[in-house]
Amino acid sequence: MLSNVDPEIAALIQAEATRQSRKLRMIASENDVSAAVLEATGSVLTNKYSEGYPGKRYYEGQQIIDQVEQLAIDRARALFGVDHANVQPLSGAPANLAVYLAFLQPGDTVMGMSLPMGGHLTHGWSVSATGKWFRAVQYDVRKDTGVVDMDEVRSLALAERPKVIFCGGTAIPRTIDFPAFAAIAREIDAVLVADIAHIAGLVAGGAHPSPAGHAQVITTTTHKTLRGPRGAMILCDAEYAKVIDRAVFPGLQGGPHDHTTAAIAVALHEAAQPEFREYAHTVVANAKALADALLERGFDLVSGGTDNHLILIDLTSKAIAGKPAAQALDRANIELNYNAVPFDPRKPFDPSGIRLGTAGITTRGLKPEQMPLIADWIDRVIAAHDNDQALDRIAAEVEELLGTL
Ligand SMILES: Cc1ncc(COP(=O)(O)O)c(C=O)c1O
């Protein structure tokens, strides 16, 4: 028993479980995995080394592991309707790095959405290896709409002729137009990579259009809306299977984390069930209901609302920055993160906005009719952000609601 061997860590894990249960967990990249996913993650598969792929390993004793990985691969292919799946990337950033290794030489041009506009570090942002070792050109959102302008993306692509184009990101509240990106990529013979880390669960559950058939390569984490363990996958057309597999191993990684692979397989099985479709649609319904309720209370939402699980709030009109707002909300048991908003005049470590998502609270059982209450709490917290007593009162109300679920 962990509590006998290491009572300190056991107590901390218990404390974290309690903390999570008391919070409205609205960090857009987080979720609550099922007991089944947790069990697979904590299994004896963590003892095994299995460099290579099913049927082609460098170590003995793969009779069971090969079946586990093959199941994960088959389930990923079926769920997302793709030719090939690599389930070994250790997380989202290494999955994207593998794509660079597969298709680009150092110095080649890559195009992605810039980080402050909602893209991800690994789409060519300057501080990332992807921005240092490659020539990155970055597209933005339009200032007046908060949304990507596909004509601007096309002009930039035609002028810069990147070999790889990334679409997707980490703070995009609107539907990604995969067919439009694909048309641009085709025009310049670039590889289109759809990074669906945030929306993979919505895609799997039919609540966001799929990039399958549009993007030659799809990367995703497995732990956000998809509700699996910390991990990632690369999905691709058959013609890129070999180059992707070689990039992941031996190009970038050693042994895969077989316990994670098993947990990914479990999550993919869960995501193929009818209840998951309901979950995915409720995630979006909750986000839309919350966005409406926030708008009614005078909040300024980037792009004016949401089509997915994510809401980005510009707090400038509320005369508070993102960081103190996020800290006050955390005290009130509403957990989210401070975030830059497009064209943010403030510094990244002290930006103007907050970002929140509805995947975790949907898993917890919350429904659209409860979203006005959450908007109300957020509104009250912002108004009373320096009043600890008021924040503690809201924290107690949040705990009371969570206790009824
Ligand atoms: C769009 C996108 N891609 C990649 C990643 C990186 O994933 P990880 O944190 O697992 O490396 C993230 C994580 O937030 C993300 O949002």
The string over 320-342, giving b where at least 16 C-beta atoms fall within 10 Å of a residue's C-beta and e elsewhere, is: bbbbebbebbbbbbbbbbbbbbb
Average pLDDT on 335-356 reads 96
> Whose Cα sits closest to atom 16 in ligand 1?
170
Catalytic residue, chosen from 23, 224, 227, 380, is 224
**For residue 198, how far is its CA from the centre of ligand 1 (angstroms)?**
8
231 is in an annotated binding site: no
DSSP element (H, E) containing 251:
none
Q: Are 375 and 297 in contact (CB under 8 A)?
A: yes
Domain boundaries, the chain: 38-271, 282-402
The string over 39-60, giving b where at least 16 C-beta atoms fall within 10 Å of a residue's C-beta and e elsewhere, is: ebbeeebeebebebbbeebeee
pLDDT of 391: 98
Burial class (CB in 10 A: 0-12, 13-18, 19+), 232: buried
CATH architecture of 38-271: 3-Layer(aba) Sandwich (3.40)
CATH fold of the domain at 282-402: Aspartate Aminotransferase, domain 1 (3.90.1150)
**Is 195 a catalytic site residue?**
yes
pLDDT in tens, 121-173: 999 999 999 999 999 999 999 999 999 999 999 999 999 999 999 999 999 99
Ligand 1 binding pocket includes 169 (Cβ within 6 Å) = yes
Give the predicted TM-score (pTM) of the model.
0.98
Percentage of the residues of the chain whose pLDDT score is greater than 90: 99
Token code pair at residue 65: 């592991």
pLDDT of 5: 98
Q: Which of 170, 172, 252, 355 to mutate to test the pocket of ligand 1 (most atoms within 8 A of CB)?
A: 170
Alpha-carbon distance 325 to 338, whole Å?
Answer: 8
> Whose Cα sits closest to atom 6 in ligand 1?
92
120 is in an annotated binding site: yes
Ligand 1 binding pocket includes 170 (Cβ within 6 Å) = yes
Average pLDDT on 297-320 reads 98
3-class SS shares of the chain: helix, strand, coil, % to 5: 50, 15, 35
Average pLDDT on 242-261 reads 98
Q: Are 358 and 48 in contact (CB under 8 A)?
A: no
Average pLDDT on 255-262 reads 98
